[in-house]
Structure 1
Amino acid sequence: MIYRTLGNTGEKVSAIGVGGWHLGLPRVSEADSIRIVRAAIDRGITFMDNCWDYNEGASEVRMGKALRDGYRDKVFLMTKIDGRSRAEAARQLDQSLQRLQVETIDLVQHHEVLRFEDPHRIFDEEGAHQALLDARQAGKIRYLGFTGHKDPQIHLHMLRVAAAAGFRFDAVQMPLNVMDAHFRSFEQLVLPELVREGIGVLGMKSMANGILLKSGTVDPVECLHYALHLPTSVVITGIDSMEILDQACQAADSFRPFEPVELESLLSRTVEAARTGYYEPFKTTSLFDGTAANPQWLGDEPERLRQFFTR
């Protein structure tokens, strides 16, 4: 397994991370999900991804069970919350702690920063950021980050709003794959800024749940190698079987940085398929936007702003 440093935190983490969403899918039994997590840890994977809303909490519950019996001490545990208000973020975080059966989560991230208004809600005086600062002060979390998959300009806006509030995130999660390189690119716009600021880079959607593979231009190991080639701290990948775990470990074991001619060949192969964003529907549709389908997860708008709508 490859290990890298998570930005300026000094934390050493595995370059491959276990994606939490797949662990709670109906087609994956609880016993199998626990077996996958523990086998991954035994094979050197230390970064565990999850989220408060994954599979109505089943993903966190299963990971919490998998991390019993001494496994918790072997991993860097991350989860995400959807709440935008201070109260809702605090509620979701406490629920995540209970499901994961831990007193401290290593990294908690504001999930699905998809709209230009999200950063302002998060950093409002009644916003979710204050809840995470409170939790960090109380020892419930160690590091803070945010995620999103829609548009690199929204990520840059989140970084600007945070800077205006005097805050720098420890990690940022975003799509990084061979198609993103050509279309509405996080790699081109956001990645250099994160590297410059020493913020940990969490790559996701290296295969977009297999959608990129349907283009017929790349195979799974090539997708993982491309994301590993970038200055990522961790490449988070969905693992729903022991076979897919083998594939991820094989990709780590066989990884070598691309030679320029190899990189050029891979990118030229994918440029036409990537041109319209068809194989990255998380950017071009709302199908991947959980909070769009469940706006109640966000919590109430700030009380001081609701006065504008009183009649």
Structure 2
Amino acid sequence: MGKRHLALMLISVGVISVMGSLAFNAPSTNNVLISKDKVATKGPTLPSDPELPLMADGRHYPIVPADPSEIAALLLAVEKALHDSTTSAEQLPSLGHQQQVIYRQLSKDYKKSEKVLKMLPTRWQHVAKRHLAARREFLNMHRNSNIPRLLPAWRIIAPEPAKNLLSYYRKAETATGIGWEVLAAVNLVETGMGRIDGVSVANAQGPMQFLPTTWNEQGIGEGDIRDPHDAIQAAARYLVRRGGLQDIRKGLWGYNNSNHYGKAVLEYAALLEEEPKAFNGLYYWEIHFVNEMGDLWLPVGYNQSKPIQASSYLKQFPASKPK
């Protein structure tokens, strides 16, 4: 597929014309872990500040405490809630975003992250280490890249419902032998599980970021390159063709010619294999874009046909910037 950097400055998840207004169509708030016979429970109270600007859906940029012990306590509460099948579905978007921002900040601060890790119970230490290792691979991947001045020409849309995505990954696994966890991880790092609706500098398209030439190869693309179901099935077939059944690292190298990329994807895949409920958090990660103005949150509703100055965008949507 070649090198594509559509989602790698972020992961990470909409921009619109600065003269327009953000229109939100939020991702489905379904706890895919919850059983019908269980009563939803309230998750932890997240840090808040009434002075912070809000997005159209009433949320603000997640706050991360400065003190390592407070971070550890918050992270533990968030992880437990995201892994709990009774957590209220309405809280999942905020919990997932809080988790994401904690790991994004800790990944850049080795000393603080080590202090936080030591305060976590063993199980959650391992989960956190997986997250940090994956994020740091992407940081290393872009270590020598220039920080962009402009925000990208993307449209951020609500992802396919979580239960649908899980069914697509598992269908592809059954058909090809490529693990559903790998497909979910690729979907996450490429477009935030389909949130980024845009074309990369290399002309890669759709939720799994296919080059049209690759999509058109016999036996790879079937259906619509922009359709989540079709793209996920095609990605599995592509990984097989690139040798993924013999060595998944080879398959991922075909997807993106970077060892950092492959290692990051496999860290997330290993996390999902060890902790399948981790999907409940990853699904709610937002699109972030590292810019000279900071680690900016581009919410569902962002829709920009051309690159835009971050300062101009932030004047209208200040909630995209951290405190």
Same fold, TM-score > 0.5, yes or no: no
The structure with the greater share of residues assigned to strand is 1
Higher relative contact order (CA 8 A, sep 6+): 2
TM-score normalized with structure 2 length = 0.32
TM-score normalized with structure 1 length = 0.33
